[in-house]
Amino acid sequence: MPAKAQTPADTGAMLISALAIPGEPEQVRTAREFTALVLRAHARDDDGTAALLVSELVTNSLRHSASGQHGGTITVIVAVAPDETLIEVTDNGGPTDPVPRAASDGEDGRGLHLVEELAAAWGYHRRETQLTTWFQLP
């Protein structure tokens, strides 16, 4: 009987998918759909949390970084490991670090609060002119 081929999940490997999009508001939907597609392809149950959080981070990139300017780009990376999903959103950098704003009654300023509440962990790091904001889901 032939040996069963190991899948990446069997070996503890991480499966990584990436998408680079133009820094345009209509691309938020593309990022959300890409995230959902990758999770479905890797048989990950998602109640919409991952897509929601990606939407928030991509929107922040458009509003607060050079990615929202003409010619700007945003990269979404979805990394699927046996016990977690790591999602990164990298933009062209901006003048401030991503920190949750003080509580607001308005529609604006809630994105990082959602990330903070719904993700198992989140953070950010800068490299040269780029900013990457990431979150993990179990």
pLDDT the model gives residue 36: 95
pLDDT band at 96 (very low <50, low <70, confident <90, very high): confident
Rg (CA), the chain: 16
- Rounded CA separation 93/11 (Å): 35
pLDDT at 18 over 50: yes
| Ranges of each domain in the chain | 13-137
Q: What ranges make up the beta strands (E) of the chain?
A: 15-22, 73-80, 85-91, 121-127, 130-137
Quote the CA–CA distance of 65 and 50 in Å, as a whole number.
Answer: 22
CATH architecture entry for 13-137: 2-Layer Sandwich (3.30)
What order of strands is seen across the sheet that includes strand 121-127? 15-22, 73-80, 85-91, 130-137, 121-127
Q: Is the pLDDT of residue 108 over 70?
A: no
Would you say residue 67 has pLDDT above 50?
Answer: yes
* Predicted TM-score (pTM) of this structure: 0.85
Residue-averaged pLDDT of the chain: 87
